[in-house]
Each structure stands twice: as structure tokens, then as C-alpha cells.
Amino acid sequence: MHLHGPLFPIPYDRTMRGRSVDKNAPRKPLTAFMMFMKERRSNSESLASLPFGERNRILGAEWSQMSKEQKQVYSSRAAEERAKYNVLLAEYKSSESYKTWLASNEGYVKNPKRKKGVQPEAERDSRESNFRVSIFTTEFLQYNRLREVVLRQLKKQAIQLEEETALLSKHVENLVHAETRTKTQLQSCSEQLANEEQIQKRLYRELVAALAEVSLPCSGGTSDSISTGTEHITETSVQSFFTQLEQLKEDQKHPELIIKAQELLETAISKKIIKLVSL
């Protein structure tokens, strides 16, 4: 829960009060929530036209309803912006204009801007002005502080990325699981297919053996030329052999061949030369 102000007047100055605002310093980057507000304002006219306070209250409520994953889009972008800002700030802090500003703020010069309800209070001397510290030491401390800030941010980003990685790992795990499942299914399907092919091959072999004596009149390529040749069943022509037999039966030609084939098949089945496999 965010507190909007002091519950009672504070007895000392906790703030940077007294320091003037450095106009040359880089602007603070937007937080994730600020980016979210900016986006929602720009893509919703009804929101943009709403009064200031009401609109932000709505967006604040919207934001608090959002999941961590939904906020992640904005947090990542905000983290990037913060990183850029820190680089700019580091550059600025080593610049001449920063040192000038720092010098102009030696011992709180300007009058502070105060919020309503905060009681005015006697100005204090700057802590830094109480110590005559070597410029090298000051710069070193500042450098150190900045490194700490960067370190802190990197740690935070690392945690965020770890969470993202964990989420992605879970997805990967699911996909691997699904892949294993389909591979198993494929394996069993292939085995069934191979088995079926084996059975068909055997059946064809058995049919060829049983129907070896049957010779069909060869119909030839065209209807005009009547071939006198004959055709026997082979392991590769089982399908077409039966098709031709079917055609003969339909056309009621060579009934003796049909009967012979039927007899041979029945004998083969009864003698178990042909073994039928139930499906």
C-alpha cells in the first residue's frame, strides 16, 4: 500500500529540500505504470477525455487488476529505459555542467517547494559542506555509488529474467512431453502399418499359390484387338487380377473360370493354405 503523505508532521527534513532542480540533468525514465498510462491514454479517446483525477484512478485500478505477466511487457521496457537513463546519468555526472550545478548547491541555497501540510522548518547546513573532503574521494564515492545502483538494477533484472526463464522452461517441458507422446503414437502406428503390410504380403503370396492354375484371357490395351494371350496371378498383380475376375463375373463371361477360382479358394482356405486373419 502506497502512502500519500506523512501521517503527522515530520520533525526533520528527510528530503533533498533546499537543493535546486538541475535542469541539465537527464529526465527520469518512465516507470512501468507510467508507460502503461501513456499507452492507454493514447489508444483510448474516452479515457483521454476524462477528467485528470478520475482517469488516473481508473488506470490505477486497471493496473492493480493486471497479472504479473501482463505487467511484464511494461516492466521490461521500463527496465531498459532505466538502464539507458543510468548510463546518461553517469555521463552527466562526470560532465562539467554537473560539477557547476553541484557547486551552486553547496549548502542548500534555494528555498524549497513544499507540499501542503508540510510545516516550514529552519534550513540546515549541508552535511557535505561540513566536511572538507578531497575532490578525488568525493568522485570516488560517487563512482562507487553509481556502480552499486547499476549492480542493484542488474540483480533485479536477473531475477525478472529468471522468472521469465522458469515460465518458458515450463512451456518447453510441456512441448517435450507432447512430442514424446506423438512420437510414441507414431511408433505404434508405424508398427501396426508394418504388421499390416506383412499380413497383406503373406496373403498375396498365399493367393498366388492357390490361384496359380487360373489363367485369365488377356483383354489387351484396346477393345478392337482381341488378344489371345493369357494372364496369371502374381504377387504384384493380385488387385488387378481380382478386378478382372470381378469384371468377368459381371459380364457373365467364362463362368468356368469363376467357378474354378472359387473352388480353388475354398479348398485353399479349408486346407489352411490361405490363413485369414480377423481384423
Partner DNA sequence: CCACCTTTGAAGTAC
Partner DNA sequence: GTACTTCAAAGGTGG
Establish if 118 lies at the interface with DNA (CB under 7 A). yes
Establish if 23 lies at the interface with DNA (CB under 7 A). no
Which residue lies nearer to DNA by CB, 115 or 271? 115
Please give the C-alpha separations between residue 30 and each of 145, 163, 229, in angstroms, as whole numbers: 22, 23, 92
Q: Are 71 and 37 in contact (CB under 8 A)?
A: no
Q: What is the largest CA-CA distance in the chain?
A: 127
Select from 47, 50, 56, 268 the one that contacts DNA (CB under 7 A).
Answer: 56
From residue 185 to residue 224, the character string flagging contacts with DNA as x (rule: CB under 7 A) and all else as - is: ----------------------------------------
Establish if 116 lies at the interface with DNA (CB under 7 A). yes
Establish if 75 lies at the interface with DNA (CB under 7 A). yes
Select from 72, 76, 153, 157 the one that contacts DNA (CB under 7 A).
Answer: 153
Q: How far apart are CA 205 and CA 234, in angstroms?
A: 8
Instruction: Show the DSSP H helices in 44-134 as ranges.
Output: 45-48, 52-65, 68-93, 96-104, 127-130
CA dihedral 233, 237, 243, 244 (to 10 degrees): -50
Sign of the torsion angle spanned by Cα atoms 57, 62, 67, 71 = negative
Q: Are 231 and 261 in contact (CB under 8 A)?
A: no
Establish if 131 lies at the interface with DNA (CB under 7 A). no
Sign of the torsion angle spanned by Cα atoms 242, 243, 248, 252 = positive
Size of the site for DNA (CB under 7 A): 50
Residue 115: how many CB atoms within 10 A of its CB? 8
Among the residue ranges 31-39, 181-189, 259-267, 269-277, the one whose residues contact DNA (CB under 7 A): 31-39
Establish if 37 lies at the interface with DNA (CB under 7 A). yes
Select from 40, 50, 60, 249 the one that contacts DNA (CB under 7 A).
Answer: 60
Q: How far is the CB of 180 from DNA (least distance, A)?
A: 39
Establish if 2 lies at the interface with DNA (CB under 7 A). yes
Establish if 16 lies at the interface with DNA (CB under 7 A). yes
Helices 255-270 and 238-251: crossing angle in degrees, nearest 10, is 130
Q: How far is the CB of 121 from DNA (least distance, A)?
A: 11
Q: Which positions lie near DNA, rule CB under 7 A? A: 2-8, 10, 12-17, 21, 27-28, 30-34, 37-38, 41, 52-53, 56-57, 59-61, 63-64, 71, 75, 78, 82, 86, 112-116, 118, 127, 149, 152-153, 156
